[in-house]
C-alpha cells in the first residue's frame, strides 16, 4: 500500500478538483493519466534535445536519433520481441490495424477468403477489416460471446477453417473487461493456417506482454492508455511478415533511394515510418515503460483486482444496479447500468460529483447490439486509484439510485403531447432566462433544467417511430410537430435521458407557438450563451442538442417553403 500511495503522488492530474470535488478518475480504459517522469521527458525533449531524427549532421540530431532508437529497444524488451526491427512506431492501435489491413491483408486476400473477428471488438478492429473485405471480396466472420461475456471458444474453433486467412481479436475487451485466452487461440489459428493479429490496447497497461510466448504474428497497443502521450503507438510484427509487406505510406524516412524511374525502400522498421515521427511521444512512451518496469507489476495487478472486487461488492447492493456481463477472466473494467436511469444521466450525475466515467457504446456498437443495450456506464480502475475512490463512486451511485425512478406522466393520445405541454404557453424562453440566470450555481441551474425536463409530456411507444427519431443524438430522442390554425408550429419531443429531456424543454420553450420564419431566424446560440450553458455541455451532449435544433429548423424550413 505504501508503494501505491507513492505512485499515486506521481500523477499530477489526479490531484485536482472537478466540479467542486476532488477528482475520482475512473475512465482509465479511455486514456490513462501520465506520471511526472513522462511529462518531464516530453518537456525536456523540447527544452534541450529537440532535433529531427535520422538525418541531421549535427550533435543534437545524433542524440535525438540515439534516444529515439533506444526508445524502440525499450518497447522491444517490454513486449519481448525478438528484434528492434519488429517494432514499428504508429499513432496508436487504430493506425496499426489499418496498416496491417492495407499492407499485409490487402495484397493477400482473395474473394472467398475469411477474416475472423469477435463480438468483443472495438471499432478500430472492425472497420479496417470491413474496408479491406470490400476491396478484396474477402468475408468477415464473427465469433460470438457467451451469456456472461466470455468468448465462445467452441464457436471460435468451429469458425476457423482453411478459408480463414486472418484472425484479429482483442486481448482484453474495452467494454466488458473480458480477458481472452489468446495464447491458445493463436495456436489454434496457426493450426488452421491463419495469421493472428492481437489488439492489445487494453492489455498492455495491465498485463505483462510476451509476444514470443503468445506466438502472435502482430500485436498492437497505444501509448496514451499506457501512461504515455497521445499520438504514439506500437505495431509489433514478425520480421518475416513485415519484410514481405509493401510500405503503407510513402514519403521521407521510408526510402533508400528515390528517382523518377523508381524508388527503393528503406529496411525495417523504417520502411513503415514515412515522415517525421512523433519523437517526443516515443521518448515519453519509453519513459512510461521505465516507470512501469521499476514497479512490482504483479502487485499493481493485485491492487487493480482488489479495487474491482470492492466495486462489485459495494455496487451489488445498490437497488437497480445491473452489471453487464461477468467474464470468467476480467480486467478492472466494470460495465453496468442503473435500471432507473439512462446511462447518460448516470455519467452526468457522477461528473457533478467529480467522478469521471465513460458512458455510451464504448466504440463497440456491434457488441452493444448483441447485448441489446444502447450503451453502458463503464468504470475502469487503474493501480493509482484508491479504495476511497471506489467508495466515493459506489456512494454516489447509491445516491443516484435512491433519487428514484424516472417518473413521467404517461400520455394517451398523440395530440395530448402537444396539448399537455406547458412549453411555449405557460413557460417561454424569456421566463426560463429570468429564472435560470438568477441562479448562482451551476448545480442549481442543473437541477432546474432537470425539473423542466420532467414537465415534458411523454411519448407513447407508438409515437417513437423511425420517422420521429432524431439522428445524431447519443441517446434516443424523438420529435413530432403539429401546426395550429394561425400557422404556428408546436413541437413535442421525448428522450430516454433526463438531461436530454431537460435540454429539449429549453429548446421547446423558445420554439413552441412560433411561426416558421421566427424559428428560422431565432438566435439559438445567443439563447444558450445567455443561459450560461455552453460551458457545461460536453461535445457529445452539445451535438445531441444541435441535432434537435437542426431537426426543428428543418421542419420549420419545410413548413415555410409550403407557404410560398
Q: Which residues bind ligand PLP (CB under 6 A)?
A: 92-94, 122, 124-125, 170, 174, 199, 201-202, 222, 224
- Pairing label, strands 358-360, 376-380: antiparallel
In the numeric block, which cell numbers belong to residue 454? 420532467
Shortest distance (Å) from residue 120 CB to ligand PLP: 8
Residue with cell 493456417: 193
Residue placing its CB nearer to ligand PLP in the complex, 93 or 353? 93
Residue with cell 471480396: 137
Residue placing its CB nearer to ligand PLP in the complex, 8 or 91? 91
In the numeric block, which cell numbers belong to residue 319? 437497488
Shortest distance (Å) from residue 435 CB to ligand PLP: 42
473 classed as catalytic:
no
Whole-Å CA distances, 462 to 97, 459, 466, 551: 43, 8, 10, 20
Which of 393, 398, 548 shows the shortest CA–CA distance to 475? 548
- Its sign, for the CA torsion 156, 214, 303, 12, is negative
Whole-Å CA distances, 345 to 264, 475, 555: 56, 10, 28
Q: How many CA atoms lie within 13 A of 176 on its CB side?
A: 31
Shortest distance (Å) from residue 131 CB to ligand PLP: 16
Residue placing its CB nearer to ligand PLP in the complex, 179 or 417? 179
Shortest distance (Å) from residue 377 CB to ligand PLP: 17
Residue placing its CB nearer to ligand PLP in the complex, 99 or 507? 99
Residue placing its CB nearer to ligand PLP in the complex, 201 or 508? 201
Tell me the C-alpha distance between 187 and 168, whole Å.
13
Say if CB 322 and CB 72 are below 8 A apart: no
Catalytic residue among 216, 315, 363, 382: 363
Shortest distance (Å) from residue 203 CB to ligand PLP: 8
Whole-Å CA distances, 169 to 10, 162, 200, 217: 33, 18, 9, 12
Shortest distance (Å) from residue 96 CB to ligand PLP: 8
Residue placing its CB nearer to ligand PLP in the complex, 92 or 247? 92
Shortest distance (Å) from residue 222 CB to ligand PLP: 3
Residues of 300-327 as b/e, b for ≥16 C-beta within 10 angstroms?
Answer: bbebbeebbebbbebbeebeebebbbbb
Residue placing its CB nearer to ligand PLP in the complex, 168 or 411? 168
Say if CB 344 and CB 475 are below 8 A apart: yes
Active-site residue list: 363
Amino acid at each position: 500500500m505504501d508503494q501505491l500511495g507513492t505512485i499515486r503522488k506521481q500523477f499530477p492530474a489526479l490531484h485536482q478538483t472537478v466540479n467542486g470535488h476532488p477528482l475520482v478518475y475512473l475512465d482509465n480504459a479511455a486514456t490513462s493519466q501520465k506520471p511526472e517522469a513522462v511529462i518531464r521527458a516530453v518537456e525536456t525533449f523540447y527544452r534541450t534535445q529537440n532535433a529531427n531524427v535520422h538525418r541531421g549532421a549535427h550533435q543534437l540530431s545524433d542524440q535525438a536519433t540515439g534516444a529515439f532508437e533506444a526508445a524502440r529497444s525499450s518497447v522491444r524488451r517490454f513486449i519481448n520481441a525478438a528484434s528492434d526491427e519488429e517494432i514499428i512506431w504508429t499513432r496508436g492501435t487504430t493506425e496499426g490495424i489499418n496498416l496491417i489491413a492495407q499492407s499485409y491483408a490487402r495484397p493477400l486476400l482473395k474473394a472467398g477468403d475469411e477474416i475472423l473477428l469477435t463480438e468483443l471488438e472495438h471499432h478500430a478492429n472492425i472497420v479496417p477489416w470491413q474496408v479491406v473485405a470490400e476491396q478484396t471480396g474477402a468475408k468477415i466472420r464473427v465469433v460470438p460471446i457467451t451469456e456472461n461475456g466470455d468468448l465462445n471458444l467452441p464457436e471460435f474453433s468451429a469458425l476457423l477453417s482453411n478459408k480463414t486467412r486472418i484472425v484479429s481479436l482483442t486481448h482484453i475487451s474495452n467494454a466488458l473487461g473480458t480477458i481472452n485466452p489468446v495464447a491458445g487461440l493463436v495456436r489454434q489459428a496457426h493450426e488452421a493456417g491463419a495469421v493472428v493479429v492481437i489488439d492489445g490496447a487494453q492489455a498492455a497497461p495491465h498485463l505483462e506482454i510476451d509476444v514470443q510466448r503468445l506466438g502472435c504474428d502482430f500485436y498492437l497497443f497505444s501509448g496514451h492508455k499506457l501512461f504515455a502521450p497521445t499520438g504514439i503507438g506500437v505495431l509489433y510484427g514478425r520480421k518475416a511478415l513485415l519484410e514481405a509487406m509493401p510500405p503503407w505510406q510513402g514519403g521521407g524516412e521510408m526510402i533508400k533511394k528515390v528517382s523518377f524511374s523508381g524508388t527503393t525502400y528503406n529496411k525495417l522498421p523504417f520502411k513503415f515510418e514515412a515522415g517525421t515521427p512523433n519523437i517526443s511521444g516515443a521518448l515519453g512512451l519509453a519513459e512510461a515503460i521505465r516507470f512501469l518496469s521499476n514497479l512490482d507489476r504483479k502487485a499493481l495487478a493485485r491492487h487493480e483486482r482488489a479495487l474491482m472486487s470492492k466495486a462489485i461488492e459495494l455496487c451489488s447492493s445498490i437497488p437497480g444496479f445491473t452489471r453487464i456481463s461477468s467474464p470468467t477472466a476480467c480486467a478492472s473494467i466494470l460495465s453496468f447500468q442503473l435500471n432507473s436511469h439512462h446511462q447518460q444521466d448516470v455519467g452526468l450525475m457522477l461528473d457533478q460529483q467529480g467522478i469521471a466515467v465513460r458512458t455510451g457504446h464504448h466504440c463497440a456498437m456491434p457488441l452493444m447490439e448483441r447485448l441489446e443495450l444502447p450503451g453502458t456506464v463503464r468504470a475502469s480502475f487503474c493501480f493509482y486509484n484508491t479504495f476511497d475512490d471506489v467508495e466515493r463512486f459506489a456512494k454516489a451511485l447509491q445516491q443516484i439510485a435512491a433519487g428514484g425512478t424516472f417518473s413521467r406522466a404517461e400520455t394517451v393520445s398523440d395530440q395530448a403531447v402537444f396539448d399537455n405541454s406547458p412549453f411555449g404557453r405557460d413557460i417561454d424562453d424569456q421566463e426560463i432566462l429570468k429564472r435560470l440566470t438568477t441562479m448562482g450555481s451551476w448545480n442549481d441551474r442543473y437541477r432546474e433544467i432537470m425539473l423542466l425536463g420532467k414537465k415534458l409530456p411523454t411519448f407513447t411507444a407508438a409515437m417513437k417511430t423511425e420517422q420521429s427519431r432524431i439522428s445524431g443524438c447519443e441517446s434516443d430522442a424523438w420529435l413530432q410537430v403539429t401546426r395550429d390554425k394561425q400557422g404556428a408550429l408546436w413541437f413535442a419531443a421525448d428522450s430516454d435521458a433526463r438531461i436530454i429531456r431537460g435540454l429539449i424543454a429549453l429548446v421547446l420553450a423558445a420554439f413552441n407557438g412560433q411561426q416558421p420564419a421566427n424559428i428560422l431566424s431565432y438566435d439559438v446560440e445567443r439563447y444558450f450563451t445567455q443561459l450560461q450553458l455552453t460551458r457545461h455541455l460536453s461535445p457529445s451532449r452539445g451535438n445531441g442538442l444541435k441535432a434537435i435544433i437542426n431537426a426543428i429548423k428543418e421542419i420549420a424550413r419545410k413548413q415555410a417553403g409550403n407557404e410560398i
